[in-house]
Amino acid sequence: MEETSAQKPLSKEEILAEFANTTFDDCFADFFYDRYLDEFEVWEDYDNPNEMALKCVKHGLTWYALYKQIGHHEQWCKAAYEFGCEGVQINVSLENEIECMAEVTERVEYHSKDIFISTKDSEFAKHFDHIKRQYKMDGIFMLFYSEYAEEFGFDRDMLDIVSRKTRAYTDAIERMKSEDFASYYATLVDYNIEQAWKLAELRERLKKEGKDELYVDVCLRKSAELVDEYGSEIPEHKSKEVKAYMKAWDITRGNDFQESSLEEKKRFIDIYVNVYMNASYPENPKAIPWDRFDDFVLDIAKRRFKGENVDVEPRTLDTLLNAMMQYKAKGDL
């Protein structure tokens, strides 16, 4: 702390003269006067307390007046004043309004929990309406903006994410896709454009095939895991594993597994995927009845699930010789 200042607080006439030099409405004169006195007490032990007090009040009143104009609850307006007093963000802009709202919601919730709970919905609605009018934002932007705020609150990443979702949605609509496709595509903001488009097309295809919501959700989750791990270069066998998983998972929803536990269903899925993959890449392709492949895999998987020791390929001489040739070519023999 610096040495105590000898400055005295300004007189009421001097304070109101300072106010007269601002662009604030006259209705804020008393507020300006009262807040100056409070701020002077905060800064009186520092150099130039009058200068600091006036600066804080002007910065704080910028945000207080804005929130009063929007029609916010007095508690929210006071929290906006405190945000402005800190002097971090002086100018009013979309980015700074988001930062202010983040601080305001945190302050009101912490200091006045009951007021926050009772006023949150209406205060958010006022904020959304203001942002739409002030910055001339379209309905799609505001939809994503409000959804983000309701789910995550306000933060520094908000504007970037909402803007990217809006661009993605608009891009899909311009490419003649449905609103449902565009909305889902817009949610995939963490993927690159190509990966997001492929996942959105997969969802569209599954829905056209008549798959129910649960099936679609599970399949998209498994597919997204591959995208997360491999990007756009997903190995063929990994794609087949997902296909096999979904076939097995769908089977476990049937009557044969109504009484089965989750552990039993998982065991069957693991067995089915193993059989499916071995049958897809056999040592002797002639041993696989390709014309009834799915029935063949299901039969073996069910028998193994019951405890039978059955092979995908019969251990014939041709199969063994073919396997030896493959191992020899790899240098394993």
Tell me the chain's radius of gyration from C-alpha atoms: 33
203 located within any domain: no
146/137 Cα distance (integer angstroms): 12
Measuring CA to CA, which residue among 273, 225, 227, 267 is closest to residue 246?
273
55 located within any domain: yes
End residue of a domain, out of 79, 111, 133: 133
Length of the chain: 333
End residue of a domain, out of 75, 99, 133: 133
Can you say whether the dihedral through the CA atoms of 115, 117, 118, 121 is positive or negative?
Answer: positive
Structure confidence at residue 48 as a pLDDT band (50, 70, 90): confident
Range(s) of the domain holding residue 74: 1-133
What's the total number of domains in the chain? 2
Inter-helix orientation angle 74-85/49-70, to 10°? 140
Measuring CA to CA, which residue among 320, 311, 319, 275 is closest to residue 293?
275
Q: Map residue 310 onto helix, strand or coil.
A: coil
pLDDT at 31 over 80: yes
Q: For 209, which DSSP code?
A: T
194 located within any domain: no
Average confidence (pLDDT) over 217-234: 91
Min mean pLDDT across 31-35, 85-89, 115-119, 189-193 is at: 85-89
Q: How crowded is the C-beta side of 209, counted as CA atoms within 13 Å?
A: 11
| Residue 61 near residue 28 (C-beta atoms within 8 A) | yes
End residue of a domain, out of 133, 162, 196: 133
Q: Map residue 47 onto helix, strand or coil.
A: coil
247 plus 119 within the same structural domain: no
- pLDDT tens digits for range 139-185: 999 999 999 999 999 999 999 999 999 999 999 999 999 999 999 99
5 plus 128 within the same structural domain: yes
Residue 217, both tokens: 């959700």
328 located within any domain: yes
Q: For 332, which DSSP code?
A: -
186 located within any domain: no
DSSP states of 80-121: HHHHHHTTS--S--HHHHHHHHHHHHHHHHHH-HHHHHHHHH
Average confidence (pLDDT) over 52-62: 93
> How far is CA 220 from its chain centroid?
16
261/285 Cα distance (integer angstroms): 35
Give the residue carrying structure tokens 């649960």: 214
145 located within any domain: no
139 located within any domain: no
Angle at 256 between CA 255 and CA 257, to 5 degrees: 90
25/68 Cα distance (integer angstroms): 11
Structure confidence at residue 88 as a pLDDT band (50, 70, 90): low
What's the whole-model pTM score?
Answer: 0.80
118 plus 246 within the same structural domain: no
Angle at 194 between CA 189 and CA 195, to 5 degrees: 65
Averaged pLDDT of the chain: 90
Backbone angles phi, psi at 235, to 5 degrees: -60, 145
Q: What integer pLDDT is reported at residue 6 of this predicted model?
A: 66
146 located within any domain: no
Alpha-carbon distance values, 271 to 142, 196, 245 (Å): 48, 31, 10
